[in-house]
Amino acid sequence: MDIASPNFENVGPFTRAWEWLKALPVKLWAMAVEFANKMKKLGQDDPRRIIHSLKVGVAITLVSLFYYVRQLFDRFGENGIWAILTVVLVFEFSVGATLGKGLNRMLATLSAGALAVGVDQVATLFDGTGQPIVLGIFVFIISATVTFMRFFPALKARYDYGLMIFILTFCLVSVSSYQDAEVLEIAYERLYTIIIGSFIAIIVCICVCPVWIGETLQNQIANNLEKLGNFLEGFGKEYFRLSEEGHSTDDKSFLHGYKSVLTSKDKEETMANLARWELWHYRFGFRHPWNRYLKVGTLTRQCAYKLEDLNGYLNCFEIQATPTEFRREIQEPCIQICSESGKALKELASAIKKMRRSTLVNSHIDSSKLAAKNLQSMLNNSLWENANLREIIPTAAVGLVLINIVPCTEKIVEAFQELASRARFKRMDDRVSPNNDV
Amino acid sequence: MDIASPNFENVGPFTRAWEWLKALPVKLWAMAVEFANKMKKLGQDDPRRIIHSLKVGVAITLVSLFYYVRQLFDRFGENGIWAILTVVLVFEFSVGATLGKGLNRMLATLSAGALAVGVDQVATLFDGTGQPIVLGIFVFIISATVTFMRFFPALKARYDYGLMIFILTFCLVSVSSYQDAEVLEIAYERLYTIIIGSFIAIIVCICVCPVWIGETLQNQIANNLEKLGNFLEGFGKEYFRLSEEGHSTDDKSFLHGYKSVLTSKDKEETMANLARWELWHYRFGFRHPWNRYLKVGTLTRQCAYKLEDLNGYLNCFEIQATPTEFRREIQEPCIQICSESGKALKELASAIKKMRRSTLVNSHIDSSKLAAKNLQSMLNNSLWENANLREIIPTAAVGLVLINIVPCTEKIVEAFQELASRARFKRMDDRVSPNNDV
């Protein structure tokens, strides 16, 4: 925006302010256009975001009928506000998160309401001044204890929201009970409006284009494996200069894909925690072994650390030189390891996506183990006369990392097989039926 | 608990149930003891958790005075409930999180309330049936748009809670306005009770043993650097078997400390986002460069990936053998790199904790660069006659990784120096004054 920033140095403050004001509409317009473009891009990147926003709008409009429709308002009165509040707070992007929050909220309201009614009974045993003191002591003890319980890692992972709502409801009901005698009614009204709100949120979330976080986790784990596989396959060609002879070298995005795997831990754990709430998904069913996905994810990450290492050798200046004799010598088993491990990982990725077992993967692993053994014996037995360490060492180091990648891949396969048996993945024999490829 | 699980196979269901019931008190008691022990451990691990729980109890008891004290209740009435709700929802473990939520909540309530009042003015232009339709359309459009805006990464990081409260307040006020004519009063009451609640939460959070998330982030970044330094120093001794000659080898915890650094990204980013809310911390002041800490953290993580690699070589079976001639040959520069880089990282850690610059670190870096140069020329120039690659390669690979660690450390030092100049860290000359060591 050149017009927006002319040279102000020799003009007075008034002129400067005027120029700034004159430029303001143009600036604002540019900002608005940029904002609109960003919004458009966000929507294009993942159209589910647009659908989610519309779903939230629909759910809130639905629940606000409690106010707009005379008959409903006469029945529920101003308590309908809790239902609106619940929809806004509970409605999340994925089914798992919405279910988790909804169930947490309902159970916490139920139990905290019951406790508050009980505490109110105790407090009524005391006279005028004693009553608020007893209530205050209970509020203090219970809110401090439950706040402390929120630090338990196991509770925090799945019930954090519920514990917060427990404190909230207990305080609301028991505090209101002091000024309003009908404590049971307060607790009851809060409970059923929250149940109505939660159900509206959950039903809209599940019935209109649902986003299952379990599917997202499964895809993420599979995509991570695929990224690693792509890197390995690409690395072999790139490092041993096969690409110069063959096809182009310009698209090297596959060499950076694995980087996102390095820091995927927290996201995967959050997703697994949310996926546990999706009890009745048509593909996963009840008690799907989400922990096993995390195991595969952890091993994938450990493999990614080794790729980070390989990537370092790729950028190292020694590699820029033409391939040495030694490199050509060990080229074959190295490329074999890269391509077979890469294929194994990509086969696993596809098997996870299709939820079927894989027998192909074992043959890839066997080939890569054989290649690793060859490479190891090459490195072990060769007595290199007049060997120039400068030429040998970087390449040999790459060879060592590749040898280490083979047991790494094997561990991933083992973890996958455990997952496949726990999650009852289909056997390969069933693969002929077309609907397994969904 | 042997008594809890006797052999039930040859008894009827009634006996089984009776045995189970008899064992129940013992089981429950065992669970209660385990729970109490876990609670005790949680509190011992970080006593700030206990203090936080008590603080929440105090804040909620304070705000519930709005109900218990007759004069206050007469003034605020049942709207006091919003203040209690606000304290429960806004009070977080760290000052940054509490401030962030409190400010978000207040600003969002103010702006959404104003918008809802405006929308209500538009809706009153329509007659009986038109009014709820116009209100419904506005509620739909605004809730869908703001929900979509929550996907913007920049908004999500700092204003996610505010956007949710914006939707909430807008819906509450504009929906209630249909049945209750005094929309301005609703908006105004909601606003001031939320302001009171937020202020009580913020004041208790800051005045009673505050937990500054900025300090936590700074410590975490420094501790991570220290873990890396410990590993490097320990690795040199461990790999080259110096420890056999010198002190004991039993405590090897330093060799695993770095592992937590590998997956620290998300936590650091969250902390930096929250730290930005702590505008008036006595040490950091306004506009502390939290981004620079993240930069140091990212580079630390990249260094940690290389340590993961080194750790792999430590566990490799070749290393179990007695040191070879070649290993003894390159031992000196390797140990030099380890100890100098380790010292540099630990010096940085201490400098970050004390918020001062460091001149010592440059001399460590210079020494490690010199050692890396020596090692490189050793690896480059030696022509090893009758060299057994099996013996040489793993050690040489370790040497290569160590050489790569030096520029990695250098980058961390550069990032630190940028941080030090942006955050106006004290110069070393000031170090004589004792209160800099706080």
Per-residue model confidence (pLDDT) at position A8: 47
Close Cβ partners of B231 (under 8 Å, ≥ 6 residues apart):
B254, B255, B257, B258, B307, B310, B311, B342
Say if B168 is an interface residue toward chain A (CB within 8 Å).
yes
Do A62 and A176 meet the contact criterion of CB atoms below 8 Å apart? no
Close Cβ partners of A395 (under 8 Å, ≥ 6 residues apart):
A324, A326, A327, A330
What residues does A383 pair with on adjacent strands?
B388
Per-residue model confidence (pLDDT) at position B242: 58
Q: Where are the alpha helices (DSSP H) in A46-129?
A: 48-63, 65-68, 70-76, 80-90, 95-123
Say if A305 is an interface residue toward chain B (CB within 8 Å).
yes
Say if A262 is an interface residue toward chain B (CB within 8 Å).
yes
Condensed to tens digits (0 to 9), the pLDDT of residues A152-165 reads 998 999 999 999 99
Per-residue 3-state assignment (H helix, E strand, C coil) for chain B: CCCCCCCCCCCCHHHHHHHHHHHHHHHHHHHHHHHHHHHHHHHHHCCHHHHHHHHHHHHHHHHCHHHHCHHHHHHHHHHHHHHHHHHHHHCCCCHHHHHHHHHHHHHHHHHHHHHHHHHHHHHCCCCCCHHHHHHHHHHHHHHHHHHHHCCCHHHHHHHHHHHHHHHHHHHHHHHHHHHCCCHHHHHHHHHHHHHHHHHHHHHHHHHCCCCCHHHHHHHHHHHHHHHHHHHHHHHHHHHCCHHHHCCCCCCCHHHCCCHHHHCCHHHHHHHHHHHCCCCCCCCCCCCCCHHHHHHHHHHHHHHHHHHHHHHHHHHCHHHHCCCCHHHHHHHHHHHHHHHHHHHHHHHHHHHHHHCECCCHHHHHHHHHHHHHHHHHHHHHHCEECCEEHHHHHHHHHHHHHHHHHHHHHHHHHHHHHHHHHHCCCECHHHHHCHHHHC
Query: Tokens for B151?
Result: 């996907």
pLDDT, mean of residues A299-308: 93
Determine which of A35, A78, A148, A311 to mutate to test the interface with B (most B C-beta atoms within 10 Å): A148
Per-residue model confidence (pLDDT) at position A435: 45
Query: Across the interface, which of A57, A73, A301 has its CB nearest the CB of B179?
Result: A73
Condensed to tens digits (0 to 9), the pLDDT of residues A145-198 reads 999 999 999 899 999 999 999 999 999 888 887 776 677 888 888 888 999 999
Helix (H, G, I), strand (E, B) or coil at A387: strand
In the predicted model, is pLDDT for residue B10 greater than 70?
A: no
Per-residue model confidence (pLDDT) at position B382: 60
Do A117 and A93 meet the contact criterion of CB atoms below 8 Å apart? no
In angstroms and rounded to an integer, the radius of gyration of the C-alpha atoms of chain B is: 31
Per-position b or e across B286-305, b if 16+ CB within 10 A of its CB: eebbbebbbbbbbbbbebbb
Answer with the residue of higher pLDDT: B424 or B94: B94
What residues does A356 pair with on adjacent strands?
A426
Task: Check CB contact under 8 Å for B81 and A172.
Answer: yes
Q: Measured between CA atoms, how close is A179 to chain B, in angstroms?
A: 7
What is the DSSP secondary structure assignment for residue A308, as one 8-state letter?
H
Per-residue model confidence (pLDDT) at position A425: 87
Query: Tokens for A106?
Result: 């309902």
Interface of B with A in 7-26 (CB under 8 A): none
- What is the pLDDT confidence band of residue B438, given thresholds at 50, 70 and 90? very low
Helix (H, G, I), strand (E, B) or coil at A191: helix
Helix (H, G, I), strand (E, B) or coil at A427: coil
What residues of chain B lie within 8 A of the CB of A64, using their CB? 135-136, 139, 171, 175
Condensed to tens digits (0 to 9), the pLDDT of residues B243-254 reads 454 444 556 777
Per-residue model confidence (pLDDT) at position B315: 72
Q: Which helix (H) or strand (E) segment is A288 a member of?
A: none
Q: Measured between CA atoms, how close is B67 to chain A, in angstroms?
A: 7
For residue A261, give the nearest of A232, A283, A289 by alpha carbon.
A232
In the predicted model, is pLDDT for residue A15 greater than 80?
A: yes
Helix (H, G, I), strand (E, B) or coil at A383: strand
Q: Measured between CA atoms, how close is B409 to chain A, in angstroms?
A: 15
Per-residue model confidence (pLDDT) at position B248: 46
> Cα separations (Å) of B68 from A135, A428, B201?
9, 69, 19
| Closest residue, chain A, to B140 (C-alpha) | A57
pLDDT, mean of residues B102-110: 95
Task: Check CB contact under 8 Å for A388 and B383.
Answer: yes
For residue B198, give the nearest of B165, B231, B171 by alpha carbon.
B165
pLDDT, mean of residues B119-144: 88
In the predicted model, is pLDDT for residue B52 greater than 90?
A: yes
Interface of A with B in 46-85 (CB under 8 A): 49-50, 52-54, 56-58, 60-61, 64, 67-68, 73, 78, 81, 84-85
What is the value of ipTM here, to two decimals? 0.86
Query: Across the interface, which of B52, B172, B400 has its CB nearest the CB of A85?
Result: B172
Query: Across the interface, which of A38, A309, A400 has its CB nearest the CB of B393?
Result: A400
For residue B288, give the nearest of B298, B280, B296 by alpha carbon.
B280
Say if A124 is an interface residue toward chain B (CB within 8 Å).
no
Per-residue model confidence (pLDDT) at position A60: 93
Do B85 and B126 meet the contact criterion of CB atoms below 8 Å apart? no
Query: Across the interface, which of B56, B152, B267 has its CB nearest the CB of A144?
Result: B56
Chain length of chain B: 438
| Closest residue, chain A, to B392 (C-alpha) | A393
Do A87 and A95 meet the contact criterion of CB atoms below 8 Å apart? no
What residues of chain A lie within 8 A of the CB of B89, using their CB? 164, 168
What whole-number distance in Å separates Cα of residue A232 and Cα of residue A336?
A: 10
Return left, alpha or beta for A192; rule: phi > 0 is left, psi -120 to 50 is alpha, else beta: alpha
Do B213 and B96 meet the contact criterion of CB atoms below 8 Å apart? yes
Q: Measured between CA atoms, how close is B79 to chain A, in angstroms?
A: 11
Query: Across the interface, which of A60, A306, A392 has its CB nearest the CB of B143?
Result: A60
Task: Check CB contact under 8 Å for A144 and B57.
Answer: yes
- What is the pLDDT confidence band of residue A409, given thresholds at 50, 70 and 90? very high
- What is the pLDDT confidence band of residue B327, given thresholds at 50, 70 and 90? confident
What residues of chain A lie within 8 A of the CB of B400, using their CB? 393-394, 397
In the predicted model, is pLDDT for residue B406 greater than 90?
A: yes
Query: Tokens for B81?
Result: 């409930």
Chain length of chain A: 438
Interface of B with A in 175-214 (CB under 8 A): 175-176, 178-180
What whole-number distance in Å separates Cα of residue B37 and Cα of residue B11?
A: 36
Do A303 and A405 meet the contact criterion of CB atoms below 8 Å apart? yes
pLDDT, mean of residues A346-358: 92
For residue B289, give the nearest of B432, B416, B130, B112 by alpha carbon.
B416
Q: Measured between CA atoms, how close is B124 to chain A, in angstroms?
A: 14
% of chain B surpassing 90 pLDDT: 50
Q: Measured between CA atoms, how close is A117 to chain B, in angstroms?
A: 17
Query: Across the interface, which of A53, A180, A392 has its CB nearest the CB of B148?
Result: A53
Q: State the pairing for strand pair B387-388/A383-384.
A: antiparallel
Helix (H, G, I), strand (E, B) or coil at A284: coil
- What is the pLDDT confidence band of residue A433, given thresholds at 50, 70 and 90? very low
Determine which of B400, B401, B411 to mutate to test the interface with A (most A C-beta atoms within 10 Å): B400
Task: Check CB contact under 8 Å for A140 and B57.
Answer: yes
Do A165 and A104 meet the contact criterion of CB atoms below 8 Å apart? yes
What whole-number distance in Å separates Cα of residue B255 and Cα of residue B82?
A: 52
- What is the pLDDT confidence band of residue B239, given thresholds at 50, 70 and 90? confident
In the predicted model, is pLDDT for residue B388 greater than 80?
A: no
Per-residue model confidence (pLDDT) at position A250: 56
What whole-number distance in Å separates Cα of residue A93 and Cα of residue A101?
A: 12
What whole-number distance in Å separates Cα of residue A123 and Cα of residue A183?
A: 12
Q: For Cα atoms A16, A17, A19, give the angle at the middle one, nearest 5 degrees.
A: 65
The most confident of B60-69, B71-80, B94-103, by mean pLDDT? B94-103
- Of A153-167, A242-256, B60-74, which gets the smallest average pLDDT? A242-256
Query: Across the interface, which of A38, A61, A88 has its CB nearest the CB of B136?
Result: A61
Answer with the residue of higher pLDDT: B396 or A213: A213
> Cα separations (Å) of B25 from A349, B14, B18, B20, B29?
48, 18, 12, 10, 6
What whole-number distance in Å separates Cα of residue A352 and Cα of residue B422?
A: 48
In the predicted model, is pLDDT for residue A53 greater than 80?
A: yes
Say if A306 is an interface residue toward chain B (CB within 8 Å).
yes
What residues of chain A lie within 8 A of the CB of B171, using their CB? 60, 64, 84, 88
What whole-number distance in Å separates Cα of residue A413 and Cα of residue A257?
A: 21
Do A196 and A202 meet the contact criterion of CB atoms below 8 Å apart? no
Per-residue model confidence (pLDDT) at position B429: 53
What residues of chain B lie within 8 A of the CB of A176, using their CB? 67, 78, 81
pLDDT, mean of residues A326-339: 87
Per-residue model confidence (pLDDT) at position A248: 46
What whole-number distance in Å separates Cα of residue A249 and Cα of residue A247?
A: 7
What whole-number distance in Å separates Cα of residue A294 and Cα of residue A300?
A: 10
- Of B65-69, B173-177, B317-321, which gets the smallest average pLDDT? B317-321
In the predicted model, is pLDDT for residue B369 greater than 60?
A: yes
| Closest residue, chain B, to A260 (C-alpha) | B265
In the predicted model, is pLDDT for residue B399 greater than 70?
A: yes
Query: Across the interface, which of A172, A401, A404 has its CB nearest the CB of B84?
Result: A172
Mean pLDDT of the residues in chain A: 85
- What is the pLDDT confidence band of residue A246, given thresholds at 50, 70 and 90? very low
Determine which of A31, A53, A120, A405 to mutate to test the interface with B (most B C-beta atoms within 10 Å): A53
Q: Measured between CA atoms, how close is B432 to chain A, in angstroms?
A: 41
Condensed to tens digits (0 to 9), the pLDDT of residues B254-276 reads 788 899 999 999 999 999 999 99
What is the DSSP secondary structure assignment for residue A128, as one 8-state letter?
T
Say if A309 is an interface residue toward chain B (CB within 8 Å).
yes
The pTM (predicted TM-score) of the whole model is 0.86
What residues of chain A lie within 8 A of the CB of B263, using their CB? 263, 265-266, 301
What is the DSSP secondary structure assignment for residue A356, as one 8-state letter?
B
What whole-number distance in Å separates Cα of residue B105 and Cα of residue B107?
A: 6
Do A406 and A378 meet the contact criterion of CB atoms below 8 Å apart? no
- What is the pLDDT confidence band of residue A138, given thresholds at 50, 70 and 90? very high
Condensed to tens digits (0 to 9), the pLDDT of residues B283-319 reads 787 788 999 999 999 999 999 999 998 888 887 645 5
Residue B171 CA, chain-centre distance (Å), reads: 34
End-to-end CA distance of chain A: 51
- Of A257-261, A301-305, B127-131, which gets the smallest average pLDDT? B127-131
Do A105 and A90 meet the contact criterion of CB atoms below 8 Å apart? yes
